[in-house]
Amino acid sequence: MVAETELYDALGVSPNASQSEIRKAYRKQAITCHPDKVDDPQASEKFQKISSAYEILSDEASRESYDAFGTKDAGQSAGPPMDDFMSSFFFDLNRPPPPPKARDQVVDFEVSLEDLYLGKSVHFAIEKDVICKLCSGSGGKKGAKPQKCGRCSGSGHVLLSRQLGPGLIGQIPSPCPDCEGEGTKIKDTSRCRKCEGSKTTKGKKKISFDIKKGMVDGHKIRLQGEGDEVPGAKAGSLIFKLKARKHDTFRVSGYDLAMTIKLTLFEALSGFEKVICNHLDGRSIKLSVPQGKVIQPGETLCLRDQGMPLSRGYGDLYVQCDVEMPSGYWMKLQDRNALAKLLPVPDEKKELKETENVQNAKYESSSMSDFGRTHAHSNDFDDDNGPSTQCTTQ
Ligand SMILES: [Zn+2]
Ligand SMILES: [Zn+2]
């Protein structure tokens, strides 16, 4: 007793059919609706249906699973999942190639932050594969019949030797290089002169889409049916993945923006009121920090609702404050004692006490990017039993 008979019905066989009966039934049906021979979308749909039925029923493990559970679990064997390496030993080379499938294509689309903020309509032309108009996607001259590929006997697959591991060469089923996995090919002399047998040509297509307010970096815009055309299958989608171009002022993460401003020591200590940026829609953003609020170097201020637009509301703008210290030249012109009276006095309790042995250290200007530059290997040991010799003998 089987759970359902839909796949058997598609092929026109009984659930008790043998593997050879299933194969015969599939071949008979495939001829009547193969997309290369019959130019009818319904036939193409039927071809896909019987192909997937055959794919499940021709494999004993997936057939068993289908008999027991129906379509929902078909295709998964009852046992633990086999990895690619193991499943290659059970590959049926007589199985016909699966029907062509059009793939979705994902293309990065660079866009300015201004366009993401304000929205924009984009129009341009793309180049894509279209079904050859001369041969209607058959790849052959008028009346030319595709012939069974001699190399793979029509299965679309051949066994190729490949190294599976050290000293282990195995035979791995791979798409047939002669017919590119299709199982059939057209004789060189009968090839369509426009597409030279490739079934498709390059064509230009005008497309347009809207970048809507509220879309962010990484957002995907799907244009159904605008992907490359593949004979015998529906064209896939062309998907544009928005990629925010680097901006001079703002960095973006999700719906939030961030920027860095430079403050003088005076501004950091005494407060300020000034325009810190021109926003993506041209507005000047003025920031006021009152006297009495001291900005610490590296301190971050958050401006609510000044980030990227959401469908309702806005993200936030993070302002990182970089405090610029005055130069040594400026300091030379100042009265040190007068400055000492103005600025806070160091807290003596926090200062380290001198130990018995005091060394006066010398300094030079540097950068933390040099931190770690002194490695062990710059230290030459003239020792034959050193660690480097031991490593090479392993
Ligand atoms: Zn052609
Ligand atoms: Zn072949």
Over the stretch 147-173, which tens digit does the pLDDT of each residue have?
Answer: 888 888 888 888 888 777 777 777 888
Nearest ligand, measured from the Cα of 183: 2
Spell out the CATH class of 251-328. Answer: mainly beta
Nearest ligand, measured from the Cα of 130: 1
- The owner of tokens 């961030």 is 258
- Answer yes or no: is pLDDT of 82 > 50: no
Using the 8-state DSSP alphabet, how is residue 222 labeled? Answer: E
Alpha-carbon distance 217 to 282, whole Å? Answer: 20
The Å distance, Cα 389 to ligand 2 centre, comes to 54
Domain ranges across the chain: 6-81, 98-138+196-246, 251-328
Single-letter residue type at 144: A
Single-letter residue type at 337: N
The Å distance, Cα 277 to ligand 1 centre, comes to 57
Pairing of strands 256-264, 317-324: parallel
Single-letter residue type at 363: Y
The Å distance, Cα 49 to ligand 1 centre, comes to 26
Please state the φ and ψ torsions of residue 266, each to the nearest 5 degrees: -65, -45
Which residues lie closer than 8 Å to 164 by C-beta, 6 or more apart? 85, 170, 172
Residue 231: the pLDDT is 83
Nearest ligand, measured from the Cα of 201: 1
Q: What pLDDT, in 10s, does the model give residues 25-71?
A: 888 887 777 766 667 777 777 877 888 788 778 877 777 767 776 76
- Answer yes or no: is pLDDT of 81 > 50: no
The Å distance, Cα 82 to ligand 2 centre, comes to 26
Nearest ligand, measured from the Cα of 93: 2
Residues 253-264, mean pLDDT to the nearest whole number:
96
Residue 176: the pLDDT is 86
Residues 108-136, mean pLDDT to the nearest whole number:
93
Whole-prediction pTM value?
0.58
- Answer yes or no: is pLDDT of 114 > 50: yes
The Å distance, Cα 182 to ligand 2 centre, comes to 7
pLDDT category at 258 given cuts 50, 70, 90 is: very high
Alpha-carbon distance 197 to 191, whole Å? Answer: 5
Whether the CB-CB separation of 111 and 212 falls below 8 Å is answered with no
Q: Which CATH number fits domain 6-81: 1.10.287.110, 3.40.50.300, 3.30.70.360, 2.30.30.220?
A: 1.10.287.110
Residue 49: the pLDDT is 81
Residue 98: the pLDDT is 64
Alpha-carbon distance 244 to 110, whole Å? Answer: 6
The Å distance, Cα 142 to ligand 1 centre, comes to 10
Domains 6-81 and 251-328 share a fold: no
pLDDT category at 99 given cuts 50, 70, 90 is: low
The Å distance, Cα 227 to ligand 1 centre, comes to 19
Residue 166: the pLDDT is 77
The Å distance, Cα 223 to ligand 1 centre, comes to 26
Kindly indicate whether the domain formed by 98-138+196-246 is annotated with CATH number 2.30.40.10: no
Whether the CB-CB separation of 23 and 58 falls below 8 Å is answered with yes
Please state the φ and ψ torsions of residue 384, each to the nearest 5 degrees: -65, -25
Residues 278-282, mean pLDDT to the nearest whole number:
96
Lowest mean pLDDT among 70-84, 118-132, 350-364: 70-84
Q: What is the mean pLDDT of the chain?
A: 84
Residue 91: the pLDDT is 56
How many Å separate Cα 352 from the centre of its chain?
Answer: 54
Residues 68-87, mean pLDDT to the nearest whole number:
48
The Å distance, Cα 42 to ligand 1 centre, comes to 22
The Å distance, Cα 38 to ligand 2 centre, comes to 21
The Å distance, Cα 229 to ligand 1 centre, comes to 13
- Answer yes or no: is pLDDT of 253 > 80: yes
Nearest ligand, measured from the Cα of 198: 1
DSSP string, 91-143: --TTSPPPPP-PPPEEEEEEE-HHHHHH-EEEEEEEEEEEE-TTTTTS-BSTT
The Å distance, Cα 199 to ligand 1 centre, comes to 5
pLDDT category at 379 given cuts 50, 70, 90 is: low
Q: Which two tokens stand for residue 355?
A: 């130990």
- Answer yes or no: is pLDDT of 179 > 70: yes
Residues whose CB is under 5 A from ligand 2 (ion)? Answer: 149, 151-152, 176, 178-179
pLDDT category at 381 given cuts 50, 70, 90 is: low
The Å distance, Cα 42 to ligand 2 centre, comes to 27
CA–CA distance from 184 to each of 20, 33, 174, 249, 352 (Å)?
21, 15, 15, 58, 85
